[in-house]
Structures are given as structure tokens and as C-alpha cells.
Chains A and B, each alone.
Chain A
């Protein structure tokens, strides 16, 4: 602990602390014990513990994005830190919300469930807004930007906890071939060696010296890495653990370096040496500021050099408080009283000797009835006999109700636990994974047995040495405890309470009430009362709750069982979980080889999966999307347009059985297709539903190239691989994705042939030499390109496939040769409009996984003579051939000035009542709709029941303002049904 002074603010007032102080230790240094208000009753609350288990002292850090619910017992101070207490208004001392404490008799267990049932309508308008406004402790930050990273570790052994057991285990593993990671949540190693006086010396060295030497040894062994300020929060399957490191301990936020690190650890063996947590005892007003756990009080003395109070009262039911007593008297402080539940004969002689030597009043076989005071402990009532209570003035009361092995991580790993009648707690029984528990977490509270335990449990690890150390123990060598969960409550007033969960304001009376109402299963009781459901997960109190419940139910605690310990062990910020996957790195982006050109030419991009595709190109700043799309579409049909189609999936398929394979994968037949020809092809799932579409190019019977939709590329390849490997393993066929190996340009429009002829002046693009749905390979510069004559716009069109590094040069060359022909670059929205005018579908927009080729009127794409293909059998099912299935049709508004909205319902009724009281029969929905600049009216496609039979009839399409538009049902091809433009 450094003596360097640091100044910070708490509730607007400046305080000084020492470098290394937590907010709590610094406040205690300034004699501040009242630091917050409780969750429900707004009762004054103080500092209860000295670590991660803290239920009370939660504060808001104003200068760290207003970070709420920060545990004051963990967060270190730094110069200029601004801290504010929570859940109070207008001030901590005068809190308006404390009226809740006066009303507390009505806030019993299950209050919310019982109260907010009625009257009807109150929930939405009254209860919910009110609860939302008043609930919670801190205020969430409005603007937040944090930098955190994830670091992955693969190790042989992970040691959780750098206390005595963890250090001894690490020492045993030092210098071996095992890769070891040692994690401790504190900023220094040593645990109880630094926080208590329980051990005098190790190997005849002072404990601090031993810790320093052991740490040096570990650091210098090449196989062990140490992480401090790191808390293991999660223990998953396959020995995968997650730990959370605070990099900004004792430092203000840094905008450049990461503040938080989430360590993801994969290990072969996990050693849990994470110790124990002290628990409290419930008594009247056990929540008052000034009540603190005994071991935490001692930790403040040794770790931070702060004595929270020189003359506290110590209240215990076990032997561990000897250490606190010794620490206080060694400093010349005298506790006002030592209250032990146990009979004097059972109290350890070391404790009795100290009490006698320093003349400290002992109240054996006694208990704390309660304490009183305004905003803090002022007076403590001790029941010294059954009906005799004495009162002692004091400002602090140190409580120890025993210890719980910190089994949270062990149970997360699915390890089994068992109840120990002598320790009065649950401890690990059987590991589910490669988990070893050492020291107090395993229920071993005897330091004498620790070395033997470590040697025994780690002997299976190859190459480890026999550990030999001598521990000189201070005080009682054996841990003794007497059962006491709650003391008898002398009824003082309605507002005196005996708490079981300090964070959620759950009282022992609430537990009794819940059981009375039938919630006698511990999981039900937990939810009814919200006991141990706070961010501290009831670390100091959940076992006490089980103890109290077991008494009421007259059962053993082991019969009552425990609730499930869930990750994370301590709260983890969303920022740490997100890591770098935020803001600019939120989602990986894919860009085509022409992306920069698109950016330079005012493209507005659309996300298609992870791809960035030009949606449309703005001619000028004020041009709207509608205007741009209309302009691009019109110009393409008049001259020519060019689309960057590089994102289309491309799969190269080759092998002796490639033809058989392709015939099975697609509905079409490719047997008679001539080499160097192409075919528009449909791929179905086994259920007969359309899965994907594309163009299949046949190089020869052993070699094909198939294109897929942009979004379907990876799935189609995986689909093909799965069938090749699992259904037809004897087939000789292989697939490679070549999506990224070729950029693709689609040139369409009446002038496209002229442009192509200019750009590739040695190629004959005439109908005879280059008919529709054929392709050819050509040498271009020092590479090869493939040109396919095909169209997705209904116009004469060509697709060019070129290796990406030549793409930009060719793209620019095309524009150069068409500068007098008004070639227009167009985006995906124009592509959608043009294909809709022609009646071409988009899989995923005009289909939804329930649509067959027959529904799309694509019967002609099914190879009737084919023996088999995926989905063939399903196409003959009675439901598939049913006449009134939803089928794709075209819609045109009768009044050409109307637009049709995508997604709207198609119905038979003209008028809709407002509001709609009876269900309106829906025939289907509009899948695509655009305003056609060529036809000068809206064209739409819709999937409607029995659609084919309805062609020529009049139906209605709903609108978002509950009106209807009369439409005529037509064929899906709105322009050039005879394909004259395409075959030009």
C-alpha cells in the first residue's frame, strides 16, 4: 500500500485516499460509512464487505460514462475520480424515496405479483411506467463508448486464485512442461497471507517475503503466466473458462488503450483455488451502515492499512474471528465486546487467552438481537440470556456467520456438491470436468492439511515435484462452528427488519411468508422473493437462506438443496463481451473489386449479407432513390446499363460423374445441353421447395460452372458438398467456390452488343456466333475471361467473368468505349425493378421456403424425363399438386396512378371496416412491387391462393392506411413476353 495521496470526489465532496485504495477503503479512511440507499426500501446502507461479494456499496462513477452499480469495495480510486451514491434523491441523507421504508409493511414477498393484477389497463398505463421510473439502482449511461478486447489462451493447467493454495500449486508446477495460467482477481497475489494474520510464517519466512519470493519464482519459470486484476466469471463445458480483466485499475479511462479484457481460456485441467466467502447472520437491522463482515474488517486493516473502527463489537458463531481479534489488539485497539454464540467451553483457548489478557468483555452463549441508529449503527442489543438483553454503544459491528467454499465456478462446471454437517456448508463432491479444487474451496479449512492435499491431488500431473513447505499457523488450528442463521427478533417496530438479501431487500420474514404461501421449493421461493437474484447473487447470504428455510420446513439443508449458480460469477459489462466487434468492426464487410469506383461515383450501398453492393448511383446530391432508380431503369432499356454482379456465387464443379451430379442437384436436365451452353437452373430442397436458382454453364460433361444467388452461395456449396460426401460418396465429383476468383459485370440493354463489340473488337457477338445462353472463353491481356450471353433484365445482355485484379481496368475500358452510348451504372434496386418488369423471381423475396416450381409457373424447368433429382418425389405429394396453393401472379392497379405496397395483403373484399373487427380472408401477399418507368404504372408480383385460376379477375390489395386498391390479376411477365428484346 502506497502512501501517495490521491484526491477524489464522493457526492460532490473532495476526499483524500492512498494510492491503491478502493473507493470503500478510501471512504472508510475518511470515516464515511454511509454510502448508498437500498433497492426497494431506500434504507441507508454502508460497506459490508471488502471484495466482489459486496451487496450494498454500489456507486456510480460519473467520469466513466456514468458507469452505474460499481462495487466500491473493488473499484480503485485515482486522481480526479468523481463518485456518486445511487438510488437517492435529492441527497443521500435526505432521500425522498425513503418513504418506501415507511410503507414497507405493504411491500411483502410477492408484492408485485399480487398487486399489479388489476384493475384492467393499469399495467400498461400506470404500473409499468411507474416501476420503470423508480426501479433499479444506478442510472444507465446515455452515451457510452468503451474499448475492450478479447484474448484467447490455450493452456494445460489453469489455476484460479493466487492465494496460498494457488501459489503452492503454481510452485509445484513451476519449471515443468505444463503451460500454466495463474489468475487472481486482486492486484497482488497472496490472498489470506496479505489479508489476515492467520499464518505467521511459511518456511520460516515472513508471509510477505514468501509471497514475493514465490511470485518471483513463478514469473521466472517459463511455463507460468500470471494475470492479476482478473476474475474468472464463467466455467463452460470442455474446460472453457472466461475471465474478465480490468486494465484500468487505479487509472482514469484511456481512449486509446482497452479498458477491459475478456480472456477466453481453453485448458486441459482447471485448478480451483479460489477460496471461500464469509457469510453473515441475520438479525434486526443487520443492514445498518456500520455492520460489516469480520474477515472484511480485517482485510481493510492489513491490505489497505485502514482500521474502520477502533472499538467494534465482534459477533461470531465460529473460531475464525480470533484472527480479527488478534489484529486489533496487536494494533492497540480494544473491541468493546466479543459476542460468541458458542458455549464458553467450546471457544478456543487462544481466543479466551486474548480476551482475558486484554480485558475484553466476552458474551458467550449470546447473540446480537439487533442494532439501532440513524444512518448507522449507534447501539447494539445483545441477548445474553433467554430473556435478558443488554445494550452497548458502538459504531461498528463485525459479524462472522461462517464460511462458504466459493463453489460458484465449480457448480458452473457441472460439478456435484454435498452438504458438510461439521462446516455447515456445501462443498465440492464430484467433478464433472477435469476440475481439481484445492484449499478452502474444497472444504479444507485446515492449513496443516493443505500441503498434503496439494501433493495428493496434483500427483497425476507428469513431471511435478513433491511440494514441501512448513506453515506456522496463528491461533486455532481447527475450524469450529455452531449453527446460527438468524437471531430472535424482538419486535421493535414495523420498520425494523432482519435481512437475508441486502441487495434485493429481502427479509427473513419474506422467506417465511413465501413458504406460508406454498413456495416451499427453493427455486420457486427464490423467484417469489427475489432472494439472491441481485448482481451479487447472494454470495454472503444464499446459504443462510437455505438454513432458515430448512428450519421452517424441518428438513436438512441437503434436502432443501441449492439454487443453480449461473454465470457470470461477477457482473461483466456488455462492452467486454462485445470486444472489438463494435462500431466500425461490428460486422465483417465484404467488398467487390470495384468498390472504390462505386464510392467515387456516388454509389449508395445496400447490405446483402456481408456484402456491400451498390444500391443505386446518385447523379446529383439531391437525387432521391426513386428518381435514381427510375432514371437508371429507363436509360438501360433505351441504351445500356452495367451492374457489378461480382457478389454472385460461383461454383466450379468437375469430375468423372459431374453430369450425373448436376442432374441430381438441379431440376433441369443437362444431359442434352451442348458444351459451352448455359441453362437457367432451379435447385430444390428435399421437400420440393425452391432453395436457390442460377445459371449452370456446361464446359463439357465433366466440367460445369454454376452461379448462385449472392446470399445463397455458401449454402449451395455446402449443400452440394454434403450430398457429394454423404449421399453419393462413390461419385467422382469435386466443387470449388470461385466466387472471389472472378469479378462479374452484367451489361444489358439494346446497345450492349455494340459496346461489347467495341471493347472486344476481335470477338463476333452476332446472334449466329454468340447465341443466347451460350458462353465463350477468351484471352484478355495475360489472363482469360469468360463471356456468357444471358439476361436478368429482359434486354439483350452479356455477363463478363474476369479475374479481380483486371476488373477495374476492364470496367473503365467499357465506359471509355461507350461514352457516346449513355451506358449507365446501375445498382441492385434497379436490377430488382427490371427483373420484376420481366417477371423474373428473386429467391428469398418472391419465395419463402414454401414455394415449389409449380407455384412459380416454372414447370418448364423440371426435366420430365429425369429419373431423379433432389425434391422430385416431393413434387408429386398431394399437397404440392393442390390447385389452390399460393401461386405467383402479376398485379396491375386498375387506377394506374396508384402504387402497390410490398408485403400488403391481397383480398377479395373491397371495403375494410375500421377498426377491423372480423378476420378478413387473406388470399396472399405482394412479394415485389415497383413503379415501371417503361410502362408508367406500378407492377407487382404476389403469391395468392389459386392464383393461376384468378388471372384476369379483379382483386384488392390492402394499404397501410386500411384502404384497398383494386388490381387486375395478370401473368407475371409485364414487358416483352415474347423475349424479342432479349434475343435481339
Chain B
């Protein structure tokens, strides 16, 4: 994890998280295949997250899920996991580990992010264990509300621009 900016009640760090993007029907067969591999049932409500010690699982839309490894696995293991999930012909699992991930913590994180996104971050509208796909600093991002922080992911091609905007906003 690398701290890229801090101050004024904000800390922003960049982290590497292995991620698998899953598409499927979300039916019993889908849940069974996933559960068999990671011992965790996928969340069934849109934009909700569940997690255990090893994985964070978010439902992004009616047929799309994001699975994060909270404990680093070997690359071979990730590829094996993807291959096993893809063995079910009705599931598409893609390695999304090459996505830029940022953690935003601190008491002023909502005010800080209000300079970068129109998204309503008030706890009553965006409670813990929910996620959203929105624009942050004009970049398509996913934002995950964890207990005391936000996890923000975006395409790695935007990483330099995004980091510059994150650093810029902290000083404004």
C-alpha cells in the first residue's frame, strides 16, 4: 500500500487487490459454483457487499459481481479460480486484478469526495456494505463503502490522471 496524499483529515493510499469480474444469472447453479470455490455465497441484492476474512463480494448489477481477494493469493491460484468458475458454461469470470484501487480514509472523506463526485455519500443514502458505480473526477469508478473507508477502483489507464486529481483535491 502506498500513501499518495494525506492531511486535513484525509488519507489516500493506493493498494493492489486481486479482483475477478463475474457475470452470470445469479441462480442456484451460479451460487453453488462460486460457493464451492470460495465458501461464500454471492450477495443477492444489487449494490450490496458481503465479506469474510479472505474475500469481499459485491453485486454490481443484476448479472454482474465483483470479487476482491482481501488476502493476497498467488497469481496461479487466481488463474485457477477463474478457470474453475469458467468451467460452468453459464458463468463468465475475468481476471480484473489490473485495476487501480485506492483507499480513502479519515473523518473528512465525504467532504473531500464532494469536490470530486456528485454522488450522495451520506450514510443514510450510502450505508456501509454498499457500493456504487459513478463518476469521480470525471472517471468511471466503482466505490465500495467499507466500515471506516471507501475503496475506489478505476481503469488503470486513468491512474495517473486520477491520482493527480486526488492529490489536487486535497489541497483545495
Chain B positions within 8 Å of A783 at CB level: 75, 79
Determine if B160 and A591 form an interchain contact, defined as CB atoms under 8 angstroms apart. yes
Given A580-B165, A588-B138, A656-B89, are A740 and B160 also a contact pair (CB < 8 Å)? no
Chain B positions within 8 Å of A590 at CB level: 155, 157-158, 161
Determine if B63 and A734 form an interchain contact, defined as CB atoms under 8 angstroms apart. yes
Complex Cα spacing A624 to B33, Å: 58
Determine how close the nearest CB of chain B comes to the CB of A690; give it in whole angstroms: 26
Asked if B2 is at the interface of the complex by the 8 Å CB criterion, the answer is no
Contact partner of B98 (CB less than 8 A), chosen from A611, A735, A803, is A803
Determine if B92 and A735 form an interchain contact, defined as CB atoms under 8 angstroms apart. yes
Contact partner of A741 (CB less than 8 A), chosen from B90, B91, B95, is B95
Asked if B139 is at the interface of the complex by the 8 Å CB criterion, the answer is yes
Asked if A652 is at the interface of the complex by the 8 Å CB criterion, the answer is yes
Contact partner of B171 (CB less than 8 A), chosen from A150, A256, A264, A588, is A256
Determine if B168 and A782 form an interchain contact, defined as CB atoms under 8 angstroms apart. no
Determine how close the nearest CB of chain A comes to the CB of B143; give it in whole angstroms: 14
Asked if B164 is at the interface of the complex by the 8 Å CB criterion, the answer is yes
Asked if B8 is at the interface of the complex by the 8 Å CB criterion, the answer is no
B139 and chain A: residue at smallest CB distance: A588
Q: Mark B130-172, 1 if CB is under 8 A from A, else 0.
A: 0000000111000000000000000111111110110011011
Count, A-B residue pairs, CB within 8 A: 107
Chain B positions within 8 Å of A345 at CB level: none
Determine if B138 and A266 form an interchain contact, defined as CB atoms under 8 angstroms apart. no
A612 and chain B: residue at smallest CB distance: B157
Chain B positions within 8 Å of A581 at CB level: 138
Determine if B165 and A585 form an interchain contact, defined as CB atoms under 8 angstroms apart. yes
Asked if B118 is at the interface of the complex by the 8 Å CB criterion, the answer is yes
Asked if B46 is at the interface of the complex by the 8 Å CB criterion, the answer is no
Q: How many residues of B contact A (CB 8 A)?
A: 46
Asked if A886 is at the interface of the complex by the 8 Å CB criterion, the answer is no
Determine if B92 and A585 form an interchain contact, defined as CB atoms under 8 angstroms apart. no
Q: Mark B113-127, 1 if CB is under 8 A from A, else 0.
A: 011011111100100
A148 and chain B: residue at smallest CB distance: B172
Determine if A655 and B172 form an interchain contact, defined as CB atoms under 8 angstroms apart. no
Determine if B168 and A580 form an interchain contact, defined as CB atoms under 8 angstroms apart. yes
Contact partner of A151 (CB less than 8 A), chosen from B23, B63, B115, B155, is B115
Determine if A592 and B157 form an interchain contact, defined as CB atoms under 8 angstroms apart. yes
Complex Cα spacing A732 to B161, Å: 37
Complex Cα spacing A160 to B8, Å: 29
Q: Mark A128-159, 1 if CB is under 8 A from B, else 0.
A: 00000000000000000001011111100000
Determine if B92 and A652 form an interchain contact, defined as CB atoms under 8 angstroms apart. yes
Q: How many residues of A contact B (CB 8 A)?
A: 45
Chain B positions within 8 Å of A264 at CB level: 118
Determine if B114 and A153 form an interchain contact, defined as CB atoms under 8 angstroms apart. yes
Asked if A908 is at the interface of the complex by the 8 Å CB criterion, the answer is no
Determine how close the nearest CB of chain B comes to the CB of A301; give it in whole angstroms: 38
Determine if B160 and A589 form an interchain contact, defined as CB atoms under 8 angstroms apart. yes
Determine if B23 and A740 form an interchain contact, defined as CB atoms under 8 angstroms apart. no
Asked if B96 is at the interface of the complex by the 8 Å CB criterion, the answer is yes
Complex Cα spacing A581 to B164, Å: 12
Asked if B76 is at the interface of the complex by the 8 Å CB criterion, the answer is yes
Asked if B99 is at the interface of the complex by the 8 Å CB criterion, the answer is yes
Q: Mark B74-94, 1 if CB is under 8 A from A, else 0.
A: 111001000000100111101
Complex Cα spacing A738 to B20, Å: 11
Asked if A487 is at the interface of the complex by the 8 Å CB criterion, the answer is no
Chain B positions within 8 Å of A784 at CB level: 79
Q: Which of A583-636 contact B (CB under 8 A)?
A: 584-585, 588-593, 595, 611
Chain A positions within 8 Å of B162 at CB level: 588
Given A257-B172, A266-B120, are A740 and B74 also a contact pair (CB < 8 Å)? no
Can you spell out 14 A-B residue pairs with CB atoms less than 8 angstroms apart?
Answer: A150-B115, A151-B114, A154-B120, A258-B172, A585-B165, A589-B158, A655-B90, A655-B92, A734-B91, A738-B94, A740-B156, A741-B97, A741-B98, A803-B97
> Which residues of B are at the interface with A, using a C-beta cutoff of 8 A?
21, 23-25, 63, 74-76, 79, 86, 89-92, 94-99, 114-115, 117-122, 125, 137-139, 155-162, 164-165, 168-169, 171-172
